[in-house]
Structure 1
Amino acid sequence: MADRRIPDAGVTLIEILAVLVIIGISAGVVTLALPGRAPSRGIAQEAELLQSRLNLAAERSLIAARYMRLDWGSDGYGFEVWDGERWEAAGDRKQIEFSLSDANGSRAGEVLITPDGISETGRVTLLRLGTGTSQRSVRFDGARASVSP
């Protein structure tokens, strides 16, 4: 009589591979379900954020009767306060994914925010976020900022 195989003698290679595939798929699903980087803001949201920050800086300048400025460059933008002798940072610099320029196309500069709410030049400052067709403009008249497409 031929030797018969005992049913619980071990596992086959196919069974081991099936278990490995199930573990791999489960690990992939868990990895995708974990939170990653925060989603990047769109250009419209970034323009509204800049508008809100300019309006807040204008209010702070008025309340504290101190000069402030928006300083921007290729590394982002930030607000500074004049302490009577020098400019001091008023918070962290904001990194942005879009290009920021003024009406002349300059990618670095500053906008003075005065306590009386009148722009330094007497004109409206126009800041552009983005390039090409994906662009928003933030207008600042010294007291109030607004977004336009």
Structure 2
Amino acid sequence: MTQSPAHGSTRERLHDAGVTLVEVLVVLALIGILAGVVGLSFGSGPRGDVAGQEADLLVARLNRAADEVMLTGVPMGFVWAAEGYRFDLYDGDTWQPHDLPILAAPHLLGGETRIADAAGAMVLSRDMDPGAAGPLTLEFLSRAGTSEVIRFDGLNAVRLEGAP
């Protein structure tokens, strides 16, 4: 039986018309690699509202510190400056870095954000009296021009909404 040239050429054209599974997988792998490269090219630095993120972090840490003082009765110091803050623990004789991991290391704000208020210190004690100066108010300023204000009364820290 002889094959006509028209029938053979049609079969060859149908065979060459599709793509193989290997070709599809190669294209998907290349797309995945390119997506990864694009994602990593943006870096891992903080994005968005840096002052708000720092204010939220300090609110959480101050509330945790106040809870710790209430539970243990051991006074704690909160010390701040424009570039960051730290928590100290009073052991009866001296002030030393706190031993809780969330409060132990000083927190440096970096170049994106700073605390606008003058440097200072506050002692957190079991009676939670903020002292004669009243509640502590700190303002975080970001390089982008945003501002966030937190208030701490010795018992609770809150981020003030709608603050300048």
Same fold (TM over 0.5): yes
1:134 positional shift: 1.4
Pick aligned residue for 1:100 from 103, 106, 115: 115
Is 1:84 aligned with 2:92?
A: yes
State how 1:7-26 maps to structure 2 within 5 Å: none
**Larger helix share, 1 or 2:** 2
Q: CA deviation digits over 1:67-126, x for unaligned, max 9?
A: 112111243111111111111112111121311133xxx1x2112211121113261111
Pick aligned residue for 1:67 from 72, 75, 83: 75
Matched letter for residue 105 of structure 2: D
Matched letter for residue 99 of structure 1: R
Pick aligned residue for 2:52 from 44, 57, 62: 44
**Residue matched to 2:122:** 111
Query: Kindly tell me: are residues 39 and 134 of structure 1, through their superposed partners in 2, closer, same or farther at Cα, counting changes over 3 Å?
Result: closer
SS in 2 for 1:115: coil
Aligned length: 120
- 1:113/1:120 contact within 8 Å kept: no
1:46 positional shift: 1.5
Structure 1 length as normaliser, TM-score?
A: 0.69
User: How many angstroms apart in 2 are the aligned matches of 1:52 and 1:121?
Assistant: 24
Query: Kindly tell me: are residues 133 and 89 of structure 1, through their superposed partners in 2, closer, same or farther at Cα, counting changes over 3 Å?
Result: same
1:45 positional shift: 2.0
**Residue matched to 2:135:** 124
- 1:58/1:143 contact within 8 Å kept: yes
**Residue matched to 1:53:** 61
SS in 2 for 1:99: strand
User: How many angstroms apart in 1 are the aligned matches of 2:48 and 2:126?
Assistant: 31
Structure 1: 4+ residue segments shifted above 4 A: none
- 2:83/2:115 contact within 8 Å kept: no
SS in 2 for 1:128: strand
Percent of aligned pairs sharing the same letter:
27
1:133 positional shift: 5.2
Structure 1 runs not aligned, ≥5 long: 1-25
More displaced, 92-101 or 59-68? 92-101
User: How many angstroms apart in 1 are the aligned matches of 2:115 and 2:67?
Assistant: 23
Matched letter for residue 92 of structure 1: A
**Residue matched to 2:154:** 142
